[in-house]
Amino acid sequence: MIVSGLLLSLVSARRRLRAAWRWSPTTALPIGDCPTVPVPVRLGLLLRASLLLGLLLTLIPGAGAAQETTQQESVPAVAGDPALDPLRERAIALPVSPELVEGRLREAEADTSLTEEVRARRLEQYRSLLGYLAEINDFNQRAAAYREAISNAPVRTAAIRAELEAIEPLPDPPVELPADIDRAGVERMLVSLQAEDTSLEVQQVEIERALTELVAQPNLARQRLTEVRVALGEVDEELALPASGELSPQEQQARRWLLEARRDVLRAEALMLEQQLASGDARRALLEARRDQVRRSLRRLRERRAYLEEQADALRRAEAERLRAEAEAAQRAAAEADPVVRELADANAELARAIEPLNRRLERLGEDQLALEQAKARLETDFRNTSERLEVAGLSRALGQLLIDQRSQLPDRRVLRREAAVRADVIAEATLERIRYREELRQLADLDDAVQVRLEQITQRLAQLPMIALDGSALSADLADGLRQQLREQLRRRAELLQRALGLYDQLLSGLGTLEFTAQQLAALVADYETFLSERLLWVRSTVPITEQSFRALPAALVWLADPRNWVQVGEVLLDDAGRAPWSWLGLLAVVLLLARSSSTRQAVRASAEPLRRVSTDRFAFTLRAIALTLILAAPWPLLLALSGWRLSAALLATDFTRAVGAALLTMSSALYYLRAFRLLCMSGGVADRHFRWRGEVLRALRFNFQLATYVLLPIGGIAVTIYQHEDPAFGGTLGRVSLVLFMIGFAILVGRLLHPGRGVIKDLVAAHPHTWASRLRHLWFAAAVAVPLGLASLTLAGFTFTAGVLMESLIQQVWLALGLVVVQQSIVRWLIVTRRTLALRAALERRASRETGVTTPTADESGNLLRAAEDSVDLASLDSQTRMLVNTLISLAAVFGLWVIWSQFLPALGLLENITLWTYTSTLDGAEQTLAVTLADFTWVLMLVLVTAVAASNLPAVLEILLLKNTEVTAGSRYAITTLIGYAITVIGTLLVFGALGLTWGQVQWLVAALSVGIGFGLQEIVANFISGLIILFERPVRVGDTVTHEGNSGVVTRIQIRATTIRNWNGQELLVPNKSLITGQLINWTLTDQRTRIEIHMGVEHGSDVMQALRLLGEIAAANQRVLKDPAPLITLDAIGDNALHLAMRCFLASPEARLGIASELNQAVNQRFAAAGIRIAHPQRDLHLRAGGALPGGLAPSGSPAVATETDISGPGVAAG
């Protein structure tokens, strides 16, 4: 129970955190000299950080969430509560001093006469009272801060506005630079301006966030005021109740103080909220003035910064040109110098020339940084404005098109990721170059050593020249001094160039780091904005519902679409583009080549099926080749559409109409490829016909329906895409909407024709599996499959065009996914069948070779028979259940992943479901009771959890058994126990997650557990006993799946262990359900518990006088000859007894497992009968003595009349009768 409680608490943490932020104190944000005061918002335990009243003159309150831009009405703290009226301008007094409460707390801690329960209760009361007193002080200080804002904020606002009006424009130039300033001085000024720019940017972001939050503050405050009124009434009712006589006077006083403090907390909070509402306009005006001030400062600063960057770039270019000129001059001067000096001069000139591209890269880096900052600022402004509009207008149709336009204008996150990857490569390359230059500069730290090293190189080189006379091993003094001077000059210049290059690389890496940080901010902002838009786009109308007036623009749309001049433009644009960019039309050669080879490609696809006729020539490679050829065969026309659409959109002379047609052709090209590819897979003699062996009727239906989709649905969809590219929304609302509705209706008809359970292409599959859930619910899922596109058509007519369009697009992508998975699944099955057939053929050949000694090569007829036998013995049905489950699991995982990729874009839209509350519940968070809501999003999450838990519990254990346990040494019974326990664990975890998502913590359900315990004790004890016994069986494992057992006279094999009962299949194939409790408490014989071996006994009797030794020897030979009889332990052959009628022999043999007892016993009995008969040993028959008395009549008058009576005993011989 403790573990369950912990799990439930962990699961509910998500909702608690979410609820905690629905009404939580905002963080104070310092904004220059105008920081903001936290907005008081309450959720249980409030912030106890106090603000010093002496700082209120400089710390203007206002920040966390602010008020609407409309007029601010003063809302009374508690409507109808006159007790608060005299408190509008003063703080709420404390009902008791904290010092007194702390003294009582210490007294209770030191009082040894109190019981532990009373002491704990009293300490809890005093501590709660101290918390309430701190909250009263906190609310009083906040209310005072808001009152201060009412009086001071207008003055500050007016001062800021006057200051803004008095600011003069920047002079030209905006920064006055000293005449002798160098590049380093300008760069130091730029660093200072960059720091100031960052600070102002942070202030601007914080002010904008504060202004955005102000929109929601009044509604939250009014809602909280209503809650305060209700809470105050409840507290007053509790105060009016008499104290319980069971409490001591100290406890009664503490209770009274606690209720009064609680009441004063609510009154202080109400007063604070009223002051918050009253100060909203003043705080908003101050924040807006401060925002304008920061914007003005930021704009002026960036003008100065841009000017300094231009000056720095000019100085860098001049310095780079100077260094290059000096290096080239030195290079020319060293043309006749020593090779070492000349090599240094050449390297210096190359390094000087490499500095110029670094300067240009730095200039581009500044431009890129400015572009990213502008894009980020523009996106932040759009985000803020859109948020404010939605707060004011809600999800109205007027904002639907705005949201769509905003989403279409968002930067592409894939482009941002590619740019980030390029920057990462540039950073890595620059870092390596910087390391190389720094290492080279370190080697030049001591110029004398560097000069000496190179002088020694010159000396060694000259020493190898015999024609030059040298004085020993050294150069002449004059020559050495000259070389030393030249080397020093070149190395000094090299060090200067390296320092300059390192400085540029430092600036480059710093700039790239800043650029990467800005790009990451932009990417995060794009992701947030895209999520924000996605949460709302699906729930807002993009056009008005369909009416008669909706068709006013239909004639104009038809004229625009059918205008011959527009289509002439299409041809002109294509011709012009072919002349301007002929390389872009190289794909047309591929189209022509594919079309020319289409006939031979079809023949090659059909020819690949010929080797499939015989098992000996069948290979899976033929199927792969046929699929590849089919995909190539489907490519030319879609490729032509894609190429034309690309050039129509990107051509230099492209118009709005050509761009719209190009977008439609690009969209149609992918759909056309999928349709053609699958239709060609289903052609006569194709992959589905010869390789997958689908029925001809199914193939004809598929070909017809996909051809219908190609020639009917695809053009309608192209018209819809073309119309929606037009800039006039009225075109999309008329002709675009009509074509989209027609497309959806046609899609529903196509789905109905293909998936009809009785007439569609899956009717054979439904008939072959009538007892599956899919077959039983066929009418339900068929109706849903047809209703979904029809429902999307209805949404389109209702004005939710964007919603219906994107859902329809995802639905089509889901169809392509399903078709692709069908091909993959059939290919895997085909591979398995080919593999099994090959193995079956090989086994058949080996069996025949072992039977026919001396025959190595089969005849043609025999080979044909073997091939036919192998062909007939392996087909789809022969694939074992585990293989099918593994294949289906892999396909299911691929389907889940594909569906996630397709539909994950709509998950943000479910965020609005958080606003729909189904019910609420009370939970304790940080010692305070909170009211949390269970929303429609939570309920959706619960449904997903239930579905995932059900699927995982039913399939995951079996998959784990196949993938992990099957290939280990774990026995079958152990595998069954492990998989069963895994299934139970998944069910329990899923149940706990569901309870947690619904807000059912352990503290709330423990009463239910207690009630269930009582119910179990009375009426469900047998069921629980069987369940517990089943767990004992799975853990202790006295019985395992596959064991041979005998229970109450019934023998058989254990086939299943379930929650309530265990299934035993007897030797007649009958299944016996045995309650688990009886297996634990009753007697049970487990033949295979610790050892699979079992012994059988064969008893027989031979006639007296038989050769006993020969009979025993024959029995031993029979046991030894049987391959299924174990040699260890050895068979035991004995003469058990000498009976009246026979000599009793016994043969006791051990078997590897008990499953074949009857078969082996039959084999041994047959062998005994044959060998004994051949050896002349007769099986004894029972002997009986028959006595006939003389002179008496036979019973029933059997004696013949007149016959003399037999007076002597007569031996009667016969089978089984011996004389006595």
pLDDT in tens, 85-119: 434 446 677 777 888 888 888 888 888 777 788 88
Whether the upstream peptide bond of residue 173 has omega within 30° of 0, thus cis, is yes
pLDDT in tens, 1128-1184: 888 999 998 888 888 899 999 988 877 778 888 999 999 999 999 998 888 887 776
The reported pTM is 0.61
Residue 222 pLDDT more than 70? yes
At 1137, list the tokens: 């007894």
Length of the chain counted residue by residue: 1220
Tally of CA atoms within 13 A in the half-sphere of 953 that contains its CB: 16
Q: How much is the pLDDT for 1016?
A: 64
Q: Is residue 646 part of a domain?
A: yes
Q: Once rounded to an integer, what is the mean pLDDT over residues 545-558?
A: 82
Residue 29 pLDDT more than 50? no
> Per-residue confidence at 472, pLDDT binned at 50, 70, 90?
very low
Distance between CA atoms of residues 1103 and 1110, nearest Å: 13
> Per-residue confidence at 846, pLDDT binned at 50, 70, 90?
confident
> Per-residue confidence at 12, pLDDT binned at 50, 70, 90?
very low
Residue 863 pLDDT more than 50? no
**CB count in 10 Å sphere of residue 612:** 18
Q: Is residue 1181 part of a domain?
A: yes
Return the axis-axis angle of helices 801-851 and 778-797, rounded to nearest 10°.
150
Domain that holds residue 1063: 1038-1090
Q: How much is the pLDDT for 875?
A: 40
Residue 66 pLDDT more than 60? no
- Both 991 and 1124 in one domain: the answer is no
Q: Say which range, 216-230, 283-297, 467-481, 740-754, has the weakest mean pLDDT.
A: 467-481
Q: How much is the pLDDT for 1158?
A: 82
- Both 569 and 702 in one domain: the answer is yes
Q: How much is the pLDDT for 717?
A: 93
Decide if 159 contacts 289 (C-beta within 8 A). no
Q: How much is the pLDDT for 112?
A: 78
Q: Say which range, 510-524, 558-572, 680-694, 1045-1059, has the weakest mean pLDDT.
A: 1045-1059
Q: How much is the pLDDT for 637?
A: 94
Q: Is residue 545 part of a domain?
A: no
At 1177, list the tokens: 């040993």
Q: What is the DSSP letter of 909?
A: G
- Both 442 and 461 in one domain: the answer is yes
Helices (H), 711-772: 714-724, 729-731, 737-755, 763-768
What does each C-alpha distance from 786 to 671, 752, 754 come to in angstroms? Answer: 20, 6, 11
At 428, list the tokens: 């890595």
Output the CA torsion sign for 276, 278, 282, 285: positive
Q: Once rounded to an integer, what is the mean pLDDT over residues 394-405?
A: 67
Q: Which residue has the higher pLDDT, 960 or 784?
A: 784
Q: How much is the pLDDT for 149?
A: 87
The mean pLDDT value of the chain amounts to 78
Distance between CA atoms of residues 78 and 270, nearest Å: 7
Last residue of a domain, which of 687, 702, 724? 724
Q: What is the CA radius of gyration of the chain?
A: 47
Residue 1211 pLDDT more than 50? no
Per the structure, the count of domains in the chain is 6
Q: Kindly state the percentage of the chain with pLDDT values over 90.
A: 15
Last residue of a domain, which of 1019, 1049, 1075? 1019
Distance between CA atoms of residues 690 and 552, nearest Å: 54
Decide if 401 contacts 541 (C-beta within 8 A). no
- Both 477 and 558 in one domain: the answer is no
- Both 120 and 240 in one domain: the answer is yes
Q: Kindly state the percentage of the chain with pLDDT values over 70.
A: 79
pLDDT in tens, 552-589: 888 888 999 999 999 999 999 988 888 888 887 888 88
The CA angle 334-339-340, to the nearest 5 degrees, is 95
| CATH number reported for the structural domain that contains residue 1051 in this entry | 2.30.30.60
1136: left (phi over 0), alpha (psi -120 to 50) or beta: alpha
Last residue of a domain, which of 251, 278, 299? 299
- List, in sequence order, every beta strand (DSSP E) within 495-593: none
Question: Which residue is it, tokens 């099957």?
Answer: 966
Q: How much is the pLDDT for 976?
A: 67
Instruction: Give the best-scoring range by mean pLDDT among 183-192, 196-205, 619-628.
Output: 619-628
- Both 1070 and 1117 in one domain: the answer is no
Q: How much is the pLDDT for 965?
A: 55
| CATH number reported for the structural domain that contains residue 1129 in this entry | 3.30.70.100
- Both 505 and 644 in one domain: the answer is no
Q: Is residue 171 part of a domain?
A: yes
Q: How much is the pLDDT for 1207?
A: 40
- Both 240 and 366 in one domain: the answer is no
The CA angle 898-902-904, to the nearest 5 degrees, is 110
Residue 921 pLDDT more than 70? no
- Both 990 and 1121 in one domain: the answer is no
- Both 121 and 140 in one domain: the answer is yes
Q: Is residue 459 part of a domain?
A: yes
Q: Say which range, 682-696, 743-757, 945-959, 1115-1129, has the weakest mean pLDDT.
A: 945-959
Q: How much is the pLDDT for 713?
A: 93
Residue 206 pLDDT more than 70? yes
Q: Once rounded to an integer, what is the mean pLDDT over residues 642-654?
A: 89
Q: Is residue 911 part of a domain?
A: no
Question: Percentages helix, strand, coil for the chain, rounded to the nearest 5?
Answer: 70, 5, 25
pLDDT in tens, 1081-1129: 888 888 877 777 888 899 989 988 888 899 999 999 999 998 888 888 8
Q: How much is the pLDDT for 533?
A: 82
Q: Is residue 785 part of a domain?
A: no
- Both 983 and 1084 in one domain: the answer is no
- Both 370 and 518 in one domain: the answer is yes
Decide if 92 contacts 243 (C-beta within 8 A). no
> Per-residue confidence at 659, pLDDT binned at 50, 70, 90?
very high
Distance between CA atoms of residues 573 and 656, nearest Å: 12
Q: Which residue has the higher pLDDT, 71 or 1183?
A: 1183
Residue 5 pLDDT more than 80? no
Beta pairing partners, 922: 931
Q: Is residue 816 part of a domain?
A: no
